Structure 1
Amino acid sequence: MIKSKVDPACTGQFSQLFLDYLDEKPALAEFYSHFPRLENFGRLIEEKKIPQENRDVLVTTLQKQYADFSLSEDFEQQLKLLGEKNTFTVTTGHQLNLFTGPLYFIYKIVSTINLAKKLAKQYPENNFVPVYWMATEDHDFEEINYFKLEGKKYQWNTNQEGAVGDFFLDDSFKEFLKSVEFAPEFFVEAYSKSKTLSEAVRKYVHHLFGEKGLVVVDANDPAFKKIFIPVIEKDILDNIPNKKAQEQTDKLEALGYKSQIFPREINFFYMENGLRERIEKSGDFYHVLESELKFETSEIKALIQSNPERFSPNVVLRPLYQEMILPNIAYIGGPAEVVYWLQLKGVFDYFGVQFPAVMPRNFALILDSLTAQKQDQLELKDSELFVDYIAWKKEFVAKHSSLDIFLNQEKEKLEEVIDRSALKAKEVDDTLESAYASAKVRISKIMDHLSGKVRKAEEKRLEIQIKRMDTIRDFILPGGSPQERVENFMKFYLEDESFIEMLIEAFDPLDFSFMILKPKDDKRGNQKTS
């Protein structure tokens, strides 16, 4: 593939807060620790402190989670490395989308793997392990129960509730699987030989990225939750995280930015046997919403100690949970994730947990040969792929029209004729001046109407070129949304099984530009940043 780059701002896909973070605006410095530049990771390594007992729990738990896998010696060593003091992780997290969901899931993981490789080269005295944190505790099944491929939606429907990682791949899933007969064998094997959704996701992610050293972590584990007990207590009993997160949120809003997440007094769900519902305190009791469960203060204190696995953090505390379990120095996420992490540094500071480098995943648009050819035919710069379509069409028609579609010269000449005639008429009767002024307005409207007809005629004459742009837009914005947020990676993998290797070669995790990737047969060659 041939790679070119554009400024993320030109795509119109990112918030101002995200763009200002990438630009390192001084006003945002207090909302993070170190900006993700290669030279800053030395300090992040020095500052990262994690108890050895936490490392031991991490290694033991992961070995248990991978117990049924046939692991290579290299991968087993990768797990053991996590127990060593000079080993650090770089992490991305994502929901358990079916068949990987949208493209950007793959982009997240490739960015994470490449960052680990880059850090290993820069800091050879340390080990760096890329991690995929599975959102197994998430309960928003409707967000993950489908994927789209070539404009068609493939969806699994089930009545199961609770944490999606625990969803059984039952008969309804087997029926759904039959509709995806084109899926590569490793997907079919992962789903057909797994009991739960989390097990299947771990299998296919390991198949795709295990040889690259990627470790998959399922945080829905009692051993991990025990580490988190102090935070669970401070949140549920004292509401401290809410206060700290709200302070940061208020500061960001005072700077004119919009919040991405909204902290609550209690930032935990109660999770058990197909149930994951918010906890709220009312009077002397802690209630689990959408259920009849309620606890007195003494009861919930005891439950936190005896069964911490029943308490599932929401988006406000999941990052802290991750950083207390992993020897992590960088989190790679999408633009919305990067923004909401900026609301959380006060929470990290309160609990004495180092805030990692928060960095965006790589962003990319993949063009096929036909789309790249149409771009050439229209002489579009890469940055012009993202322009407003209506504005582009208006400008394109005006530029390539065989005549002035605005009829400017004609309008000027008519106005001159009316003005000269008005002056003569005024000498005869002053009242005629207003009549000429009204006539001038009417004629202007008539000319505007004719101009519209001329424009439509020119649009028809330029129909082939305009349709080229329509085709380009449909390819890069399927359904009106960015390609990476809609298309499944099978769109490209089924045509070329080296697709992931191509991404690994093209992506630079520390380059926050927006990439355009084109086939090598694109005759334009590598293009400079637009």
Structure 2
Amino acid sequence: MKKHLIDLEKTNQFSTFFLDYLKGKAELRPFYGHLPKIESFEEAIKKKDFTAEYRKTLCQSLERQYQGVELFEEEKSQLSHLKSENTFTVTTGHQLNLFTGPLYFIYKIVSTINLAARLKKEYPAYNFVPMYWMASEDHDFAEINYFKLDGKKYAWQTNQTGAVGDFNLDASFQEFLKSLSFAPELFKKAYSSSKTLKEAVRKYVHELFGEKGLLIIDGHDVELKAQFKEVMKEDVFNHGPYKEATLKTESLESLGYGGQIFPREINFFYLDSGIRERIEQKGEDFYVLNTNLKFSKTELNELIEQHPERFSPNVVLRPLYQEMILPNLAYLGGPAEVVYWLQLKGVFKLFKTPFPILLPRNFALLLNAEVQRKIQKLEWRIEDLFSDLDKWRRDFVCKHAQEDIEMTVEKKAIESLFDARGESAALLDKSLKEAFESAKVRSFKILDQMGRKVRKAEERRQKVMLDRSSAIEEFIKPGGSPQERVVNMMQFYLEDPELIEKLFEHFDPLDFRMVVLEN
């Protein structure tokens, strides 16, 4: 693979807010704990206070969650390391998209594994375990029930509700699986041998990344949730997180930055079989929306004590939950994720929890041989892929046109004629000058109309080149969105089973530039 690096600003894909964070803008410093650089980890290690009790609970939960999975030696080693106080984690998280969903799911994990390896070199006295936070409690099935491959959408339809991780891979899914004959065997094996969606995701992520030492954690765990009880009570009964997150959001907005998330007074869902619904307070009672469930304050307090697993944090509190149950130092995410964490610094302070180092995952664009040939025929540089391609097409047609599309000569002649005649006619009647001016404008409009017809004729004549540019654009920005946010990894993995290994070679989690790879 040939590698090119493009400054993120030149790609025109990222918000000013995100780019300002990466630049370390002074006005954003109150919203995070550490600068996103390797030197920050020394301070983060010193500040991370993770008790032996929490570490024991974490290790027991992970061992329980991995039951039935045949571990690679590196996974066994990582589980052993986690028992030691000199071991820390670096984490990424993602929804349970079918067959990994968009490419950036893979990019997140590769970046996280590479970061752990880099940290081991920089700080050899410590161990660093890369973690994938499996968002099994998410309930937005419409966001994850499909993947896109070669321009086609493949979707699983089911009427199941609640946390998607608990969805049964029933007969409807098995029929869906049969229609995907092209899928690699590791996916077929994971899905066909699993009862639930989260079980299948654990299996295929394990197969793809277990040998690299990645561990997978499911926050939907009764023992881990038990450590979050005090946060549950503070949020539900006192609304402290809402107040803190709102203050930070308002502070960011006063600086001209828009928030990504919207805190609520209660930031927990009620989670049970087939249910993940918001909890709202009305008067003295608490209601679970879209159900008949209702609790008094006493009843809800008892429920938190006895069944903390029934309380699922939303986006405001999930990051805090992660940082409380892991000896974590850094979170790697996409640009929107990094930005919304900046709204949460006050929430972490409220619960006296260290704020992690926020790092962007690697961003990438993959180019296959066919699209590379098209790029070469257009004599484009790699940088040109991130330019305004509509403008390029307009300029290209004008540059290679047989006729002057802009009608420049004709417009100058008409302008000269009407201006001269208007001046002379005004000597007879001043109103005639305005009439000639109006006639000139009408003439220009006619020429513009004729110019558009000439342009269309030129576009037909230059169709091969223009179609080539459109094909490139659809490849790198399918449907108008960056490739990594749309295309499934199988589009490249099926042709090159070494794809992921090559990503490990070319990704640097501390190099914040777009990686363009020619295969």
> Which residue of structure 2 lines up, in the alignment, with residue 303 of structure 1?
303
* Structure 2 counterpart of 1:524: none
3-state SS, counterpart of residue 516 of structure 2 = strand
Q: Tell me the distance in 2 between the aligned counterparts of 1:351 and 1:420.
A: 79
Mind listing any 5+ residue stretches in structure 2 that lack a counterpart?
A: none
Equivalent residue, structure 2, for 1:155: 155
Spell out the pairing of 1:375-524 with structure 2 (5 A cutoff).
375-426=375-426, 432-519=432-519
**Superimposed CA distance per residue, residues 453-503 of structure 1 (whole angstroms, 9 cap, x where no aligned partner):** 232222222221111111101111222222111111111111111000011
More displaced stretch, 125-134 vs 166-175: 166-175
Any residues of structure 2 matched to 1:358-369 within 5 Å, and which?
A: 358-369=358-369
Q: 1:145 to 1:438 in 2, by over 3 A?
A: closer
Q: 2:76: which partner in 1?
A: 76
Mapped partners of 2:395, 2:230: distance in 1: 61
Matches within 5 A, 1:331-370: 331-370=331-370
Cα gap change, 1:41/1:437 in structure 2, threshold over 3 Å: closer, same or farther? same
C-alpha spacing 1:439/1:328, structure 2 compared with 1 (3 Å): same
How far apart, CA to CA, are the structure 2 residues paired with 1:400 and 1:99? 45
Q: CA deviation at 1:11?
A: 2.8
Q: Residue 208 of structure 1 aligns with which residue?
A: 208
User: Tell me, what secondary structure is at the counterpart of 2:39?
Assistant: helix
Q: State how far apart, in whole Å, the 1-side matches of 2:365 and 2:121 are.
A: 28
SS of the aligned residue for 2:373 comes to helix
Secondary structure of the structure 2 residue equivalent to 1:53:
helix
Matching residue of 2:319 = 319
Deviations 1:311-354 (A, max 9, x none): 11111000000000111111001111111101001000111101
User: What letter is aligned with 1:199?
Assistant: E
In the superposition, relative to structure 1, how do residues 371 and 432 fare at CA in structure 2: closer, same or farther (>3 Å)? Answer: same
Distance in 2 (alpha carbons) for counterparts of 1:71 and 1:282: 48
| Equivalent-residue separation in structure 2 for 1:347 and 1:434 (angstroms) | 67
Q: CA deviation at 1:293?
A: 1.2
Partner of 2:37 in structure 1? 37
Match of 1:49 in 2: 49
User: Could you tell which deviates more after superposition, 138-147 or 10-19?
Assistant: 10-19
Partner AA of 1:237 in structure 2:
F
Q: CA deviation at 1:166?
A: 1.1
Give the whole-Å Cα distance in 2 for the aligned partners of 1:182 and 1:48: 46
**Change in CA separation of 1:415 and 1:352 when aligned onto 2, cut-off 3 Å:** same
For 2:226, the aligned partner's letter is K
* Distance of 1:465 and 1:259 partners within structure 2: 42
Amino acid at match of 1:320: L
How far apart, CA to CA, are the structure 2 residues paired with 1:424 and 1:229? 89
- Distance in 2 of aligned mates of 1:499 and 1:431: 74
Which amino acid is the alignment partner of residue 12 of structure 1? N
SS of the counterpart of 2:436? helix
Kindly provide the amino acid, as one letter, of the partner of residue 188 in structure 1.
K
Aligned length in residues = 519
C-alpha change, 1:282 and 1:438, in structure 2 (3 Å) is closer
Partner of 1:525: none
Instruction: Give the aligned partner of residue 523 of structure 1.
Output: none
List per-residue Cα deviations over 1:371-412 (Å, max 9, x = no partner).
Answer: 122222222233332333432221222233344321223322
Match of 1:330 in 2: 330
CA distance in 2, matches of 1:98, 1:74: 26
Q: Name the CA distance, whole Å, in 2 between partners of 1:511 and 1:431.
A: 67
Offset from partner CA, 1:23-44 (integer Å, 9 cap, x none): 2211111110112111111111
Structure 1 residue 132 displacement after superposition = 0.2
Q: Tell me the distance in 1 between the aligned counterparts of 2:18 and 2:292.
A: 42
The range that moved more, 260-269 or 153-162, is: 153-162
Distance 1:69 1:430, change over 3 A: closer
The DSSP-based 3-state class of the residue aligned with 2:270 is strand
Distance 1:429 1:265 in 2: 74
> Taking every aligned residue pair, what percent have the same amino acid on both sides?
57
Aligned to 2:254: 254
Residue 430 to residue 197, structure 1, CA distance change in 2 (3 Å): closer
CA distance in 2, matches of 1:507, 1:292: 50
AA of the residue aligned to 1:178: K
Q: What's the TM-score, normalizing by structure 1?
A: 0.95
SS in 2 for 1:316: coil
**Residue 248 of structure 1: how far off its partner (Å):** 0.4
The RMSD of aligned alpha carbons is 1.6
**More deviation, 363-372/446-455:** 446-455
Of 174-183 and 413-422, deviating more is 413-422
Instruction: Report the residue type matching 1:310 in the other structure.
Output: R
Kept in 1: contact 2:4–2:515 (CA 8 A): yes
Tell me, in whole angstroms, the C-alpha distance in 2 between the residues paired with 1:270 and 1:332.
Answer: 28
Residues 73, 211 of structure 2: 8 Å contact kept: no
CA distance in 2, matches of 1:420, 1:140: 69
| Structure 1 letter corresponding to 2:388 | D
AA matched with 1:392:
W
Structure 1 residue 437: deviation in Å?
Answer: 2.6
Q: CA shift at 1:101, angstroms? A: 0.8
The equivalent of 1:19 in structure 2 is: 19
CA distance in 2, matches of 1:312, 1:262: 17
Contact 2:74 / 2:212 at 8 angstroms: preserved in 1?
no
Which amino acid in structure 1 is aligned with residue 344 of structure 2? L
Secondary structure of the structure 1 residue equivalent to 2:88: strand
- What one-letter code is carried by the residue in structure 1 that aligns with 2:319? P
Distance 1:513 1:278 in 2: 39
